[in-house]
């Protein structure tokens, strides 16, 4: 399988930005660090608490959080970095608590998700490292022909359908929004790879062997 060279974020190249709960940056050829969460991984009460903490952080910097995209663009470059770091940290605090049903602790669910991750590897995208935690997933991915959103829709849609069949359910399996970040450099890529590898130990969880994958085509 032909793999692409890793391409860091290019500040000179055109970038598309849109917002849902967080700003999302898109650039052709980029590699993304992504977090996907099961639908019940962040209960509504916890989600509201996280949003309150995020908004308080912005207000301390005299930025109105009512329009998140506009708020993000008004931050200084260092504060943008700190904002992303802060939001990611408080979300990880919740992830590591293992809230919800934690369906991905089941071997059959892991097998379904692994199959769907690898199904279009080398076709729609190039799959990097991943760790399948009980209620969330961290992965590295480089879209090929398709848009980033199309890649995630394919992974989440197919895995949700098959997992719901195992659960004999028709409910929502994944949260609609995801956290994603364009990898800025080889150094940052190495940090993300180590983060993925160390995530179970950090959370005090012993994951099944099939929960972790280390790609052999990414720089180390």
pLDDT in tens, 28-48: 889 999 999 999 998 777 778
Task: Enumerate the H helices of 96-133 as residue ranges.
Answer: 107-119
Give the predicted TM-score (pTM) of the model: 0.83
Question: Which letter, b or e, does each residue of 16-32 get, where b requires 16 or more Cβ atoms within 10 Å of its Cβ?
Answer: eeeeebbbbebbeebbb
Bigger pLDDT: 52 vs 158: 158
Instruction: Let me know: does 95 contact 135? Beta carbons within 8 Å.
Output: yes
The mean of the pLDDT values for the chain is: 88
Above 80 in pLDDT, residue 119? yes
Q: Which two tokens stand for residue 69?
A: 């995209």
Tell me how far apart the alpha carbons of residues 79 and 149 are, in angstroms, rounded to a whole number.
Answer: 27
Q: pLDDT class for 26, splitting at 50, 70, 90?
A: confident
Q: What is the mean pLDDT of residues 138-160?
A: 93
Q: What is the mean pLDDT of residues 182-190?
A: 95
Tell me how far apart the alpha carbons of residues 177 and 200 are, in angstroms, rounded to a whole number.
Answer: 23
Q: pLDDT class for 14, splitting at 50, 70, 90?
A: low
Instruction: Let me know: does 38 contact 173? Beta carbons within 8 Å.
Output: yes
Above 90 in pLDDT, residue 22? no
What are the tens digits of pLDDT across the range 88-99? 787 777 777 788
Q: What is the mean pLDDT of residues 190-206?
A: 93
Q: pLDDT class for 19, splitting at 50, 70, 90?
A: low
């Amino acid at each position: 399988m032909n793999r692409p060279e890793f391409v860091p974020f290019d500040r000179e190249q055109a970038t598309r930005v849109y917002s849902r709960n967080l700003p999302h940056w898109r650039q052709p050829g980029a590699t993304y660090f992504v977090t996907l969460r099961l639908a019940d991984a962040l209960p509504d009460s916890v989600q509201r608490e996280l949003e309150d903490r995020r908004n308080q952080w912005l207000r301390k910097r005299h930025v109105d959080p009512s329009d998140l995209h506009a708020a993000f663009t008004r931050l200084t470059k260092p504060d943008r970095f700190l904002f992303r770091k802060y939001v990611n940290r408080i979300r990880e605090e919740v992830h590591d608590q293992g809230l919800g049903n934690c369906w991905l602790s089941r071997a059959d669910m892991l097998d379904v998700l692994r199959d769907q991750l690898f199904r279009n590897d080398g076709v729609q995208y190039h799959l990097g490292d991943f760790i399948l935690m009980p209620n969330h997933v961290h992965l590295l991915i480089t879209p090929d022909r398709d848009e980033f959103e199309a890649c995630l829709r394919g992974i989440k849609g197919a895995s949700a359908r098959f997992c719901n069949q195992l659960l004999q359910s028709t409910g929502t399996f994944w949260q609609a929004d995801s956290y994603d970040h364009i990898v800025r450099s080889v150094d940052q890529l190495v940090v993300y790879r180590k983060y993925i590898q160390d995530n179970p130990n950090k959370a005090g969880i012993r994951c099944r062997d099939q929960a972790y994958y280390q790609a052999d085509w990414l720089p180390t």
